[in-house]
Amino acid sequence: MKDLNIYMCGVGGQGIGLLAEAMLRACHKAGYDVKGVDTHGLAQRGGTVISHLRIGKKIHTPLIPSGKANIVIALERLEGARAASEMLIEGGKVIFYDAQYQTIGNRLGKFKYPTLDELEKSVKAKKGESVRVFEEELSDPRMQNIVIIKKMIELEWIPGLSVKIVSEALAELMHVKTLEKNLELIKQ
């Protein structure tokens, strides 16, 4: 397989750390060479939070060059749109959880929050495809990351990313109780 650059993003506090760690471990279990790096520190206070995951044999740095992400996984719409224009490669794929968290600029009327159409457009401009994910009945917003992982398994954008492998990865990362709740969602 060719090298894959997977760019994950969201808003500080959304649990992107868990998403990134689960994806890193799952890809490793699926037999890939992996390198990753997350944002820590200041941005975790409600700023744009990102995580890079690169899989393939010939990779040196964990940082994905701008405009070279084959897959964007966003936990929030505006961050999905931002990643689509700044990071997505031509022909790349975007999956986003349609949580909508306004920026201060949106609330003060300086910027418009992107519509679904606008996000679509920026993906199309790169000849890419996008998938919207939203779970109306989600009991806990901190499970949005699990919903998106579930969809990633279904989409098969990363060959070998299976329910079994993801479950094993998650089992390394959380207490039994939380794990059960999350696995229930994934296996639904």
Partner 1 sequence: MKKFYEQLTDKQPWQGLFMGNHAVARAMLEAGVKVITSYPGSPTPEIAEALNSVPQEMRDFHFEWATNEKVATEIAFGSSINGNMSVVFFKSVGLNVAADSLVQLGLLNLTGGLVVILGDDPGANSSQNEQDNRHFARMSYIPVMEPATPSEAYKMFLEAAKLSKKHQMPIILRLTTHVCHAKELITFGAIGESKVFKSEFDIKNGHYLPITKTVFPLKKKAMEKLDLIKKESERSPFNRVYAPFDCEEINGKKLGIISSSMPALSVMENIDNSGNAVDLLQINFSYPLPETMIADYLKEKDEVIIIEELDRIMEYEIKSLAFDRNIKCRILTRKTHDDIMGELTSERTWDILSGHWPEVFESGIKPVTQPFANPRIPQMCPGCGHRSAFHAIKQALPKGTITVGDIGCHSLGFFEPYNMGEMLLSMGHSNGTAAGLTIGNEKRKVLAFIGDSTFFHAGLPAIINAVLYDHDFTLVIMENGTTAMTGHQPHAGSGEIGEKISIDKLLESIGVKFIRRVDTYQQSKLTEYIKESLDHKGFSVVIASHPCMLKFMKQQRRKEGFVQKHVEIDQNKCKRHLTCIEDFGCPSFVKNENGSITVNEDLCIGDGSCRPTCPVSAIDFKKEAR
Where do contacts with partner 1 occur on this chain (CB under 8 A)?
Answer: 11-13, 21, 24-25, 28, 33-48, 58-63, 65-68, 78-79, 81-82, 85-86, 89, 99-109, 111, 141, 171-172
- Burial tier of 98 (Cβ tally within 10 Å: 0-12, 13-18, 19+): middle
Closer by beta carbon to partner 1, 155 or else 185: 185
Helix 116-124 to helix 77-86 angle (10° resolution) is: 20
Closer by beta carbon to partner 1, 24 or else 158: 24
- Burial tier of 145 (Cβ tally within 10 Å: 0-12, 13-18, 19+): buried
Closer by beta carbon to partner 1, 28 or else 151: 28
Q: Are 89 and 6 in contact (CB under 8 A)?
A: no
Min CB(104)–partner 1 separation in Å: 6
Min CB(148)–partner 1 separation in Å: 14
Closer by beta carbon to partner 1, 89 or else 152: 89
Min CB(159)–partner 1 separation in Å: 20
Cα→Cα distances 79→94, 139, 144, 178, Å: 11, 23, 14, 27
Min CB(98)–partner 1 separation in Å: 12
Residue 7 token pair? 């760019």
